[in-house]
Amino acid sequence: MAALLSMLWLSLFFHGVLSAPQVPCYFIFGDSLVDNGNNNRIASIARADYAPYGIDFPDGPTGRFCNGRTTTDAIAELLGFDDYIPPYSAASPNQLLTGVNFASAAAGIRDETGQQLGGRISMNGQVQNYRTAVERVVDLLGDEDSAANHLSQCLFTVGMGSNDYLNNYFMPAFYSTGRQYTPDQYADVLVQQYTGQLRTLYDYGARKVAVIGVGQVGCSPSELAQNNVRGGCVQRINSAIQIFNNKLRNLVVNFNSNLPGAKFTFINGYAIFEDIVRRAPQYGFTNTNTGCCGVGRNNGQITCLPLQTPCPNRDQYVFWDAFHPTEKVNVLFARRSYNAQSPNDAYPLDIARLARS
């Protein structure tokens, strides 16, 4: 009997060890690509807490701008977390120890970005919320050294910049930045501000940070519909984004060279998405330029409306709505970010190696 109990205890022990997540905590910063409910409590047009959003998610509509899981949901699964990382707005104090999601739809690096959509939590606001969370972590763990040690082992993913182009630079009716700056100048302005924001995360304990580059915004159904593009993408938008991404990669190199203990990595969101679309038939996609749910040309002139009936074959669509990928694309993107298929996917580390570092 004693031997049986001993074997049972060992089994439970090793099961616990093997099933533990690869990092003790995961913190998420970003926009609608990864928002999982923070905007539900904000007076904003940028919300997704209604059907058919979440049609393939176990909990239904949660505020995720997708039919199912987001990229960070899939990354959390790959890291071994039992539950999805909760939105900061609904997290309990103890959940701060395992990580929260600060992302907010319509948010940008610049504070004014997305203001035509109403309330949102800009990157500056998300950083401030993180600072508040760190203060609570210090209280929970008892002292700053314990908190610093804990946070140094956490994974951080940060994906910002899409809205600074989509809902700022290329929206001249609401913003003057497109007239003030050339694409190169605007990228410099964004990266300068982003540098300060990421440095604050570092100053407050972040060490393992995956910075996700902006994807091909110029290929979204919304931009194709607005610009009446057929058979391709809006190159002036994608070209501007590539300038930003190149500077963002250099930022990562600079941080790793100059900040003690920094382990920043650049996830090449542009290249990963481009490759998924290029090899669409291989992945089973039959539609790469139309939203599964939406209204107008490319289902991109108006995004998915409450109670609208989406396409039934969602796994064959790259885009869920006017702006956001389907769950299938998000999962593919997460896998490429976690285990890079080529050196171009992630530099200098993919997320799996970053977590182990």
Q: Is 239 helix (H, G, I), strand (E, B) or coil?
A: helix
Q: Is 324 a catalytic residue?
A: yes
Which residue is catalytic, options 32, 44, 162, 222? Answer: 32
- The Cα 292–Cα 298 span in angstroms is 9
Tell the residue number behind the tokens 């998420």, with chain if given: 28
Q: How many CB atoms lie within 10 A of CB 27?
A: 26
What are the start-end ranges of the H helices in 142-182? Answer: 144-152, 162-164, 177-180
Among 73, 164, 321, 345, the one annotated catalytic: 321
- Provide the CB-side half-sphere exposure for 346 (13 A, CA): 24
Residue 146 designated active-site = no
Residues 101-139 as b/e (b if ≥16 CB within 10 A, e otherwise) read bbbbbbbbbbeebbbebebbbbbbebbebbeebbeebbe
Residue (of 330, 298, 327, 347) closest to 58 by Cα position: 327
Task: Please state, in angstroms and as integers, the Cα–Cα distance from residue 237 to each residue in 194, 243, 294, following that order.
Answer: 20, 10, 22
Is omega for the bond preceding 87 within 30 degrees of 0, making it cis? Answer: no
Pick the catalytic residue: 324, 337, 345, 350?
324
Cβ distance 261 to 152 under 8 Å? yes
Question: Which residue numbers are catalytic?
Answer: 32, 321, 324
